[in-house]
Amino acid sequence: MAVKSNLTNMVTVLGLTCLLCSAILGGAYVLTKEPIDKAAAEKTNQAISQVLPHFTEVEYNEEGRYYTAKDADALVGYAIESTTVGFGGALSLIVGVTPDGVVYNTSVLSHSETPGLGAKCTTDQKFMSQWKGFNPAVKKLSVTKDGGDVDAITASTITSRAYALAVENALNTFNKIQGGQDNE
């Protein structure tokens, strides 16, 4: 260490380091901002296209946490975000609902369920496919153990219940959206 530890030296070196580092990071932030935004937008778009039929434009409603998807002015449906508590923590879904009130499809945004048990809600074909075209007017939205029509994942009733509840919440949001529009 050739440089002495006096106050001027310490302040200068520390100050210069901080300045240089923040300059580098500021530059990097500006450069990566576009790809980051693009990646985030792509992710949202992909999530929505998984749960709704073909659409050309989406609009996000911050307050209700839902996306309105349109295909050349015709309403395709709503992609509604919904979070409940599963076995291991928050379980976030995106639920696609078509204007007639039928669930088009669902997809898990994030979860912290037990790997191999509750986490099967993202891989179990039998469990996932029953949400395609789920009509709440015909079927009862709770797991078979509770007298409903949803087949739970084996050994993961709590996760399945949370999943059903999330879908129910999303449908409630949908009814609110519909109700709001009727009043207008």
- x/- contact string, 49-78, with another protein (CB under 8 A)? ------------------------------
Determine, following the binding rule CB under 8 A, whether residue 138 of this chain makes contact with another protein.
Answer: no
| Closest residue by Cα to residue 170 from 78, 53, 71 | 78
- x/- contact string, 33-52, with another protein (CB under 8 A)? --xx--xx--x---------
Least distance to another protein, CB of residue 73, Å = 32
C-alpha span between 82 and 164 (Å, rounded): 11
Least distance to another protein, CB of residue 100, Å = 31
Q: What is the DSSP string of 3-18?
A: S---HHHHHHHHHHHH
- x/- contact string, 84-123, with another protein (CB under 8 A)? xxxxxxxxx---------------------xxxx--x--x
Least distance to another protein, CB of residue 105, Å = 21
Question: C-alpha angle with apex 179: 178 to 183, nearest 5 degrees?
Answer: 115
DSSP state of 144: G
C-alpha span between 42 and 147 (Å, rounded): 39
Determine, following the binding rule CB under 8 A, whether residue 139 of this chain makes contact with another protein.
Answer: no
Burial class (CB in 10 A: 0-12, 13-18, 19+), 70: middle
Least distance to another protein, CB of residue 137, Å = 29
Question: C-alpha angle with apex 47: 43 to 51, nearest 5 degrees?
Answer: 165
Binding site for another protein (CB under 8 A): 1-6, 9-10, 13-14, 17-18, 21-22, 24-25, 28-29, 32, 35-36, 39-40, 43, 83-92, 114-117, 120, 123, 158
